[in-house]
Amino acid sequence: MKKLQLLILFSVISLGAFAQLGTDTIKKNDLTLIFTNTDAGFSKATRQRLIDAFFIVYPKEMTEYNPDASKVVTFMIDTGYKGVAATSRNVVHYNPTWFVSHPEDIDVVTHEVMHIVQNYGRNRGTGAQRPGWLTEGIADFVRNEYGINNEKAGWKFADFKATQSYTNAYKVTARFLYWAQKNKDPQLVKQLDAAMRNGTYTPEMWQQLTGKNVDDLWAEYAANPVIY
């Protein structure tokens, strides 16, 4: 009898550690987060950390970059998705296994919801007016700026290497943007982001904003890539 009672107690405790399957709607101020979980083994604690991160960082990103960004966002813990995370319109898909092996990488949220803020829809200009390397570089630049758990996650800009290019995207491009904004124009990233959103971005913008084209600017950065 005691063994059975202990087994039932253990089962109840274990079940309490996992997030419920299905969809919840969480509202705070004027924002709505629709949270859908398809993984029976997804951590309840991680679920709450993702929700908390959203309501901390998304309002800051909206305020700084795009106050007109969607006020309704969907998070989907998606067992069918095999990457880390991906955003389409205002829906973010997360691979639940990523958080098992990287439990502190909560700022995946910070990167992904910035894509919602960016809103560089394909109907706004050509691909050349919204290059992928810059899209992802800006999202990681913002992760560095607003991230709430980067240090514990071991996340930081990529260390500079001579073999890199500004088109490498993500942490490499983000570090370059940080350097360029610090040394050339304190509003650089905001201006690039706005131009990408309204379809007016061109490579010539770098010359207009920094005094150098992007290749020459990268060469200057590569010669002295100190950022702190």
Q: Is 38 exposed, middle or buried (0-12, 13-18, 19+ CB in 10 A)?
A: middle
141 and 221 part of one domain: yes
Q: What is the pLDDT of residue 127?
A: 58
pLDDT above 70 for 4: no
102 and 181 part of one domain: no
Residue with tokens 């995207």: 169
Amino acid at 146: Y
pLDDT above 90 for 149: yes
Averaged pLDDT, 198-221: 97
Among 62, 91, 119, the domain boundary falls at 119
Q: What are phi and psi of 93, to 5 degrees?
A: -100, 130
145 and 110 part of one domain: no
In-domain check, residue 7? no
Q: What is the pLDDT of residue 184?
A: 98
State pLDDT tens for residues 64-115.
Answer: 999 999 999 999 999 999 999 999 999 999 999 999 999 999 999 999 999 9
Q: What is the pLDDT of residue 223?
A: 98
- Closest alpha carbon to 184 in 221, 209, 205, 207: 209
Amino acid at 183: N
Contacts of 141 (CB under 8 A, 6+ apart): 173, 174, 177, 178, 189
136 and 199 part of one domain: yes
Q: What is the pLDDT of residue 126?
A: 53
In-domain check, residue 224? yes
106 and 142 part of one domain: no
Domain count, the chain: 2
Domain with 220 in it: 123-228
109 and 173 part of one domain: no
129 and 228 part of one domain: yes
Averaged pLDDT, 41-59: 98
The pairing of strands 22-28 and 31-37 is antiparallel
In-domain check, residue 10? no
CATH number at residue 22: 1.10.390.10
Query: How many helices and strands (H and E) does the chain possess?
Result: 10, 5
101 and 85 part of one domain: yes
Among 87, 119, 151, the domain boundary falls at 119
Q: Enter the tokens of residue 110.
A: 């910070």
The H-assigned helical ranges of the chain are 2-16, 44-65, 96-101, 108-118, 132-146, 150-153, 170-183, 188-198, 204-210, 214-223
Q: What are phi and psi of 42, to 5 degrees?
A: -75, 135
145 and 175 part of one domain: yes
In-domain check, residue 8? no
149 and 170 part of one domain: yes
Assess contact for 77 and 41: CB atoms under 8 A.
Answer: no
113 and 128 part of one domain: no
Chain mean position to CA 90:
13
Percent of the chain whose predicted confidence (pLDDT) is above 70: 90
Q: Enter the tokens of residue 54.
A: 């959203």
Among 119, 136, 166, the domain boundary falls at 119
In-domain check, residue 13? no
